Amino acid sequence: MRPKGKAPDAITFVIDPGHGGEDNGAVGPTGIKEKDVNLALALKVAALLRERGFHVEMTRWDDSFPELYNRPKLAHCSGADAYVSIHHNAPAAGKNPKSVRYHAVYAWNDLGEGLASAISKRMTIALLNLVDGQGVLRANFAVTRNPEIPSCLVEADFISHPQGEKDCANADRQLLVARAIVSGLVDWAEGR
Ligand SMILES: [Zn+2]
């Protein structure tokens, strides 16, 4: 359910920077780790949401690894209105990393799809002519499989792609993507 009519300070977003600790996630061609760019982007999203008056919880604030199932659990315990996991992608083994690059937002059910779609629309506008968008895709990830809380997983770019890696480590690009994610969350919260 969208928290329509609720004031921002009555709305809680849980932001989950994917991976962390010993789990690097994907690694780019020059060695940049997904866990680090996920955290950098997630911290920008959290800061922008707080500026707008929303309540924000993070599954991690540093290079630690919260257990996979504890991440959506935090969403339950904090009475979250929505849960967003932040990642950067890499292609399946055997594919040429130079040939695959897009952003996409993954949802598990209809509840998550509304949230995913709001974020995806804003990302598509922000990254027009920069990175192709695949829109909303369905996937069965542990962190988004949540029947009660609207949940989605953002794959902001491909860290495995040479230019993708440069862009996802770039602070200005992170801010552009963070602003798009936050605009999507605001659209969703306002029922647009
Ligand atoms: Zn990941």
pLDDT score at 2: 75
pLDDT score at 1: 65
154 alpha carbon – ligand 1 mean position (Å): 9
155 alpha carbon – ligand 1 mean position (Å): 8
| Beta-sheet strands, E only, within 19-150 | 55-58, 82-89, 103-107, 133-138
- The domains located in the chain, with CATH, are 10-189 (3.40.630.40)
102 alpha carbon – ligand 1 mean position (Å): 14
Q: Each residue of 15-37: pLDDT tens digit?
A: 999 999 999 999 999 999 999 99
pLDDT surpassing 80 at residue 156: yes
Using DSSP, state whether 133 is helix, strand or coil.
strand
Do 146 and 75 touch, CB atoms closer than 8 A? yes
Q: Each residue of 32-81: pLDDT tens digit?
A: 999 999 999 999 999 999 999 999 999 999 999 999 888 888 888 889 99
How far is residue 132's CA from residue 104's CA, in Å, rounded to a whole number?
9
Q: Each residue of 91-139: pLDDT tens digit?
A: 988 899 899 999 999 999 999 999 999 999 999 999 999 999 999 999 9
31 alpha carbon – ligand 1 mean position (Å): 15
